[in-house]
Amino acid sequence: QKEVEQDPGPLSVPEGAIVSLNCTYSNSAFQYFMWYRQYSRKGPELLMYTYSSGNKEDGRFTAQVDKSSKYISLFIRDSQPSDSATYLCAMRAGTYKYIFGTGTRLKVLA
């Protein structure tokens, strides 16, 4: 069993839709959770991070952590074609060690 599981997609939605991206994890010791966005043939860039449980909002993006279910989510409101990318979840497993999900490919159709 992988430590972090993420549906690879692709997920296709119409412009303006609310998008929900999810990851599950197995290690209850994880406390620090991140979402990266990766455009095609580019490096990942950090979108949001949360510590422990709860929600964090930044513009159209909301990150949610449910530690009891070992489940994290990224919601994108009013999705735009420019949001089309691969979204990677990541969890800190040590000071210099991060476990990444395989990524979910999102397509927002104009």
Helix, strand, coil % over all residues of the chain, rounded to 5: 5, 60, 40
Q: Which of residues 48-87 bind other proteins (CB under 8 A)?
A: 49
First-to-final CA distance of the chain: 37
Span 3-22, contacts to other proteins by CB under 8 A: 4, 6, 8
User: Are 54 and 32 a contacting pair, CB within 8 Å?
Assistant: no
Candidate residues 29, 59, 68, 96; the one interacting with other proteins per rule CB under 8 A: 96
Which of 17, 22 has the CB closer to other proteins? 22
**Total residues interacting with other proteins, rule: CB under 8 A:** 24
Token pair 């000071």 in the structure block, residue: 95
Binding residue for other proteins, selected from 44, 74, 83, 104, defined by CB under 8 A: 44
**Which residues pair with residue 21 across a beta bridge?**
74
Which residues bind to other proteins, rule: CB under 8 A?
Answer: 4, 6, 8, 32, 41-46, 49, 88, 90, 92, 94-103
